[in-house]
Chains A and B, each alone.
Chain A
């Protein structure tokens, strides 16, 4: 037998192994130092072939996308948005009409249209610096100075921010609910239905029952949590017991909730005395969420609930036994089952918890902002929550940021429409584009030429291999000579 051992074959970082002799580093019985160095070789050993354990599902890949991809998705969405701004901008279209005569005009008009639109968006979503300046001017004219100027001006300036926070409140809570289902492997599209269930329950308790102040509010919130939980739980139960796809059942439950509420608003139980209008009476003051920034602003205590929901998400998914089971079932239901986890019960549990949170979101919307039930009280919150959960990678911090961002886009978009005449539909387009780009990471990478972002970089051959190649070349040259 002709066997040659090669001592230099071991992958051992120099200086870390105290034993002398190279073979020692190979034995598994080896002590700590080798165990520390060995992983570089052995933990990557799977990299040679396809990784053994299958990766996360498509849903989870979308739900927990790459941060860079998300940022780039935004950049591209805004770029496409810019084109739409130009198309809708009168000045730009006129300048483009005589492009070949004076091309500079076109570019100036384009720049102006885009910057003004996005500046308006910022003013409408975060800080209205021009509004603040106007207020300051007013007060100064009337002889005020110092804090008398700064205070009111600042309040005027942050009005959009407070409005953004108000809009973000139900969005964030609902996203937390949706994120729980995403991370547990269930594609819960039922945001609208669960939200309406919660909103209806909270609203009904709010206007039809009379209770003392704090208790009334708590009762209304609990009613929403229960109703949302039941609405979500139905989909979970259908999946666990009958194998119904949660995607389909949640969508159908959306319609049932939408038309169920529309029907309810034609009955005396919901419309009260005024049966001509399909709206409910206003929620009693005792059931309303207290305002946080005074009567001039809509910001309400729901924001506190939103922050609590964020913390709850972190706790549930990282620190609780229930969340551990949810995640396990979401990633590999079969392995979870073999480990004694009841997959069906977990599906129901996930949908109940998710639905309860989305229902709570509906309650904050009705008890904090709308104060009465209407047919489209949910607006697009239920679907936006899905987008926010995707965008926030279903994580607590991500959802907080994405929720604020989406709320800002919508408040800013409204202001942009009134001040610059850019249709608010543009914002919807941007939101949709963001999701599209996030759903197709390879597309984003292709667009920026970053094709290898999460594939192995085209590596340099090892020094040994290079030396080998050189040696080969040498010998072949020698042979030729």
Chain B
């Protein structure tokens, strides 16, 4: 099916989220929608999916105008959407999830057999390897995503919208997804692929449309240069490479020995972790989400009350201390989920900037806060980190994701640190801000602070780190220099040991399209 958006305009208050956007997706084409966070990609797709009514413009399906008053209409018209956050019911089986919303019935009863058959058919056609009776919450993320795709296909979607589908996948899973996308395309499905990752766009897209600030700023072929695409996306020249001097590591500052954490069920989620971090060095922790990285950072911060083992920061034992004491020992922390773990939505920017320091001079002493000092600090930090906010008295929830992240980083970096830990330091942050935040992290390293970076984005880990520890199922699989081959790291994230991964790569297995591109796309 041919999808055409003509002059789609969507306005929120005074903010123009989509300004007369034109987009044509030919049948059997993978069309990549590239743009920063907040550029209006999601708004546009929500218009397409009937969640928002456009204030202007038209949607044409096979050259006929279509009007959707809700997702139901869009689905009936053949538009399927796989959201970034899966819309699945975790305790339901694959078949139950797939039929949810248009359940086949016979004599008033659910017809599970039909649903199972549908799942099996689609799954076989595309080699999805999905068991209809598997419970969704037991499936790995990649499989859950395939359930979403099956869901869309079972409703005869001819246009499939994938919203940031690779954010949750390993490089290998990403490759599989790209294979699926190509296969779908070859069978005639049109795919709109929303992303901000340039590599993936280049790997899979047939055409690229770049959106910035609600407007189409350009279209490109997949052969376009990555840096050009990035510049187009951001609106100014960006450099994708981080210029950093080689690290000059000093003494070991952080010593982690035999650190273990068990979850409520008694399963080890962190399994005898040993780590050393030197002064003036960035240790990256790579791994697929959910392999113990969260527990590791939480244990370092004293948020895991059941942690066993030893964490020594410059000789001081941290295990057994509470979070307050650890923060006071000079640990700066950026949690992985800013909305959930770092910011208080209805607090002002100024209040959020002193959240962990509010009781210490100059911001507070004894029982009273010192508003003047708090304002002064906020004004300084907002200027230094270029936080785009109307006023420091605005609620932090009114800020865009990138600016919220800057607030979190400013808070953590705004004092003398003995250790800096950042988890997903640039999640959901636009390219321009990523550059800035990365530079700040390196600047902190160059001051001699030991830095631990946890990220599920392999690119980020490679860029920032001096050494990389790969976590798998709660354990450190190995620590390798940052110059290690991407494919080796990718395989390690999937559970290979260093040696096995190196062998496999040397033998030519485990090469990903992603990494092939990475090598040609990156200036040496």
Q: Which residues of A are interface residues toward B (Cβ below 8 A)?
A: 1-6, 9-11, 23, 26-29, 35, 38-49, 51-56, 60, 319-322, 324-325, 327-328, 331-332, 334-342, 456-462, 464-466, 468-469, 472
**Which residue of chain A has its CB nearest to the CB of B334?**
A338
CA distance A322 to B432 in the complex (A): 38
Smallest Cβ distance from A467 to chain B, in angstroms?
9
CA distance A332 to B333 in the complex (A): 17
Residues of chain A within 8 A of B428, CB atoms compared: 52
Residues of chain A within 8 A of B17, CB atoms compared: 47-48
Q: Do the beta carbons of B12 and A44 come within 8 Å of each other?
A: yes
Q: Do the beta carbons of A321 and B364 come within 8 Å of each other?
A: yes
Q: Do the beta carbons of B368 and A461 come within 8 Å of each other?
A: no
Q: Do the beta carbons of A456 and B12 come within 8 Å of each other?
A: yes
Smallest Cβ distance from A353 to chain B, in angstroms?
12
**Which residue of chain A has its CB nearest to the CB of B358?**
A324
Q: Do the beta carbons of A328 and B225 come within 8 Å of each other?
A: no
Q: Which residues of B are interface residues toward A (Cβ below 8 A)?
A: 6-7, 9-20, 38, 40, 42-43, 55-57, 210, 212-215, 217-221, 223-225, 228, 232, 235-236, 301, 303, 322-324, 326-328, 333, 335, 338-347, 351, 355-356, 358-359, 364, 366-369, 371, 383, 386, 388-390, 394, 396-401, 403-404, 428, 432-433, 436
Q: Do the beta carbons of A52 and B404 come within 8 Å of each other?
A: yes
CA distance A331 to B346 in the complex (A): 7
Smallest Cβ distance from A159 to chain B, in angstroms?
41
Residues of chain B within 8 A of A457, CB atoms compared: 13
Residues of chain B within 8 A of A54, CB atoms compared: 339, 345, 397
Residues of chain A within 8 A of B390, CB atoms compared: 39-40, 43
CA distance A35 to B406 in the complex (A): 15
The dominant DSSP class at the B interface is: mixed
Smallest Cβ distance from A239 to chain B, in angstroms?
17
**Which residue of chain B has its CB nearest to the CB of A51?**
B397
Residues of chain B within 8 A of A328, CB atoms compared: 344, 347, 355
Q: Do the beta carbons of A3 and B235 come within 8 Å of each other?
A: no
Q: Do the beta carbons of B324 and A342 come within 8 Å of each other?
A: yes
Q: Do the beta carbons of B344 and A55 come within 8 Å of each other?
A: no
**Which residue of chain B has its CB nearest to the CB of A36?**
B390
Residues of chain A within 8 A of B9, CB atoms compared: 461-462, 465, 468
Residues of chain B within 8 A of A462, CB atoms compared: 9, 11, 16, 19
Closest 3 pairs (CB-CB, A-B): A3-B218, A48-B17, A53-B345
CA distance A55 to B396 in the complex (A): 10
Partner of A28, one of B43, B217, B218, B432: B432
CA distance A56 to B344 in the complex (A): 9
CA distance A2 to B369 in the complex (A): 56
Q: Do the beta carbons of A43 and B399 come within 8 Å of each other?
A: yes
Residues of chain B within 8 A of A35, CB atoms compared: 383, 386, 388
Partner of B346, one of A56, A459, A461, A469: A56
CA distance A417 to B349 in the complex (A): 52
Q: Do the beta carbons of B343 and A340 come within 8 Å of each other?
A: no
Q: Do the beta carbons of A1 and B55 come within 8 Å of each other?
A: no
Residues of chain A within 8 A of B324, CB atoms compared: 340-342
Q: Do the beta carbons of B389 and A340 come within 8 Å of each other?
A: no
Partner of A337, one of B10, B236, B303, B433: B303
- Knowing that A52-B400, A55-B345, A340-B326 touch, tell me 14 more A-B residue pairs with CB under 8 angstroms: A6-B217, A39-B388, A43-B389, A44-B13, A48-B43, A54-B345, A319-B368, A319-B369, A328-B355, A331-B346, A335-B342, A338-B301, A341-B324, A462-B16
**Which residue of chain A has its CB nearest to the CB of B8?**
A465
Partner of B210, one of A3, A11, A321: A3
CA distance A465 to B326 in the complex (A): 54
Smallest Cβ distance from A392 to chain B, in angstroms?
18
Q: Do the beta carbons of B220 and A337 come within 8 Å of each other?
A: no
Q: Do the beta carbons of A53 and B396 come within 8 Å of each other?
A: yes
Q: Do the beta carbons of A49 and B358 come within 8 Å of each other?
A: no
Residues of chain A within 8 A of B56, CB atoms compared: 461, 465-466, 468-469
CA distance A11 to B19 in the complex (A): 12
Q: List 29 A-B contacts (CB under 8 A).
A: A1-B221, A5-B218, A5-B232, A9-B235, A26-B236, A28-B386, A28-B432, A35-B388, A42-B38, A42-B388, A42-B403, A43-B389, A43-B390, A45-B400, A46-B401, A47-B13, A47-B17, A48-B214, A55-B346, A321-B369, A331-B344, A334-B340, A335-B342, A335-B355, A461-B55, A462-B9, A464-B19, A464-B20, A465-B20
Q: Do the beta carbons of A28 and B400 come within 8 Å of each other?
A: no
Smallest Cβ distance from A35 to chain B, in angstroms?
7
Residues of chain B within 8 A of A44, CB atoms compared: 12-15, 398
CA distance A469 to B11 in the complex (A): 15
CA distance A52 to B453 in the complex (A): 23
CA distance A53 to B352 in the complex (A): 12
Given contacts A319-B368, A324-B351, contact A43 B398 (CB under 8 A): yes
**Which residue of chain B has its CB nearest to the CB of A49?**
B42
Taking each of A2, A40, A325, A332, which has the highest tally of chain B beta carbons within 10 Å of its own beta carbon?
A332
